[in-house]
Amino acid sequence: MLSAHGLTCVRGERRLFAGLDFEVGPGEWLHVQGENGAGKTSLLRMLVGLMAVAAGEIRWGGEPVRTLAEDYHRELLFLGHHGAVKEELTALENLQLSSALDGDELAEREALAALHRFGLKGREELPVRFLSAGQKRRVLLARLVTKKARLWVLDEPFTALDVKAVAMLSALIGEHLAGGGMAVLTSHQAMPIAGGKALQL
Amino acid sequence: MNAVLAVIRRDLLLAARKKSEVLTALFFFVIVTSLFPLGIGPEPVLLKKIAPGVLWVAALLATMLGLNRLFATDHVDGTLEQMVLSPTPLGLLVSGKIAAHWLLSGLPLVLLAPVLGLQFDLDGGALGVLIVALLLGTPLLSLIGAIGAALTLGLRGGGVLLSLLVLPLYVPALIFGAGAVEAHISGLGAGGHLSLLAALLALAVFFAPWATTAALRIALE
Cα distance between residue B56 and residue B92, in whole Å: 29
Residues 43-102 of A with CB under 8 A from B: 48-52, 70-71, 73-74, 76, 78, 80-89, 93, 97-98, 100-102
Greater model confidence, A188 or B146: B146
Residue A192 lies in a domain: yes
Same domain, A57 and A9: yes
CATH number (domain holding residue A30): 3.40.50.300
Q: Is residue A174 within 8 Å of A193, Cβ to Cβ?
A: yes
All residues of chain A having their beta carbon less than 8 Å from the beta carbon of residue B14 are: 86, 88-89
Nearest to A51 among B9, B89, B221 (CB): B221
More confident residue, A84 or B111: B111
pLDDT in tens, B22-74: 999 999 999 999 999 899 888 888 998 899 999 999 999 999 988 988 999 89
State pTM to two decimals.
0.91
Q: Both A135 and A157 in a single domain?
A: no
Q: What is the pLDDT of residue B114?
A: 92
Q: Give the span between the Cα atoms of B125 and B113, in whole angstroms.
A: 14
**Which stretches of A17-162 are DSSP H helices?**
40-48, 65-68, 70-74, 91-101, 108-117, 133-141, 143-146
Distance CA B41, CA A121 (A): 62
Q: Is the pLDDT of residue A190 over 80?
A: no
Q: Residue range A100-116: average pLDDT?
A: 86
Q: Is the pLDDT of residue A195 over 80?
A: no
The pair phi, psi for residue A79, each rounded to 5°, is -120, 115
Residue A88 has pLDDT above 80, yes or no: yes
Radius of gyration of chain A (CA): 17
Q: Are residues A135 and A166 in the same domain?
A: no
- Render the burial of B105-134: b for 16+ CB within 10 Å, e for the rest: bbebbbebbbebbebbbbeeebbebbbbbb
A123 belongs to a structural domain:
yes
The per-residue pLDDT for range A134-144, each reduced to its tens digit, is 888 888 888 88
A60 neighbors A46 (Cβ within 8 angstroms): no
Q: Are residues A179 and A126 in the same domain?
A: no
- Nearest-CB residue to B81 (from A80, A87, A100): A80
- Cβ–Cβ < 8 Å for B2, B93: no
Task: Quote the domain boundaries for residue A167.
Answer: 1-75+149-201
| Arithmetic mean of pLDDT, B3-21 | 91
Tell me which of B13, B77, B81 to substitute to probe the interface with A (most A C-beta atoms closer than 10 Å). Answer: B81
A174 in a domain, yes or no? Answer: yes
Q: What is the ipTM of this complex?
A: 0.88
CA nearest A105 in B: which residue?
B2
- The dihedral through the CA atoms of B27, B7, A94, A162 has a sign that is negative
Identify any residues that bridge with A183 across adjacent strands, giving them in sequence order.
A29, A152
Question: Do residues A132 and A114 share a domain?
Answer: yes
For residue A127, give the DSSP letter: B
Give the Cα separation of A76 and B86 in Å (integer). 9
- What is the phi/psi pair of residue A62, to 5°? 90, -15
pLDDT band at residue A122 using 50, 70 and 90 as cut-offs: confident
User: Which residue among A148, A167, A186 closes a domain?
Assistant: A148
Q: How many domains does chain A have?
A: 2
Pick the last residue of a domain from A128, A148, A168: A148
Taking the C-alpha atoms of residue A97 and residue A119, their distance in angstroms, rounded to an integer, is: 20
Same domain, A101 and A155: no
Domain segments of chain B as ranges: 2-220
The candidate with the shortest Cα–Cα distance to B27, out of B126, B112, B120, is B112
pLDDT beyond 90 at B141: yes
In chain A, pLDDT over 70 holds for what percent of residues?
A: 100
Q: Is residue A111 part of a domain?
A: yes
The predicted model gives A80-86 an average pLDDT of 81
The mean per-residue pLDDT over the stretch A172-192 comes to: 87
Last residue of a domain, one of A132, A148, A164: A148
Mean of per-residue pLDDT scores for chain B: 91
Examine residue A171 and state whether it is found in any structural domain, yes or no: yes
Q: For an interface test with B, give the residue of A9, A45, A93, A101 to mutate (most B CBs within 10 A).
A: A101
3-state helix, strand, coil in chain A (%, to 5): 35, 25, 35
Q: Tell me if A101 and B18 make a contact (CB, 8 A cut-off).
A: no
Residue A57 covered by a domain: yes
- Report the C-alpha gap between A51 and A24 in whole angstroms: 20
Chain centroid to CA B10: how far?
19
Which has more confidence, B96 or A189? B96
- Identify the three-state secondary structure at position A92: helix
- Whether B195 has its CB under 8 Å from any CB of chain A: the answer is no
Contacts of A52 in chain B (CB under 8 A): 221
Residues of chain A with Cβ-Cβ distance to B3 below 8 Å are 100-103
Is residue A182 assigned to a domain? yes
Residue B138's H or E segment, with its range, is: helix B124-151
Indicate if A92 and A180 belong to the same structural domain: no
Among all residues of chain B, which has the CA nearest to that of A74?
Answer: B87
Contacts of B2 in chain A (CB under 8 A): 100, 103, 105
Cα A176 to Cα A196: distance, rounded to the nearest angstrom: 13
**Helical packing angle, B124-151 and B90-101, nearest 10°:** 140
**Cα gap A12→A37, rounded to integer Å:** 13
A165 and A69 together in one domain? yes
Q: In this model, does residue A113 exceed pLDDT 80?
A: yes
Closest residue to B85, CB basis, from A52, A76, A86: A76
Domain assignment of residue A80, yes or no? no
Does residue A37 share a domain with residue A1?
yes
Cβ contacts of A71 on chain B, cutoff 8 Å? 87
Clarify whether residues A127 and A160 are in a common domain: no
Is B106 in contact with B137 (CB distance < 8 Å)? no
Work out the pLDDT band at A148, boundaries 50, 70, 90: confident
What would the mean pLDDT of B173-197 be, rounded to a whole number?
A: 91
Q: Do A66 and A1 have their domain in common? A: yes
Residue A200: the pLDDT is 82
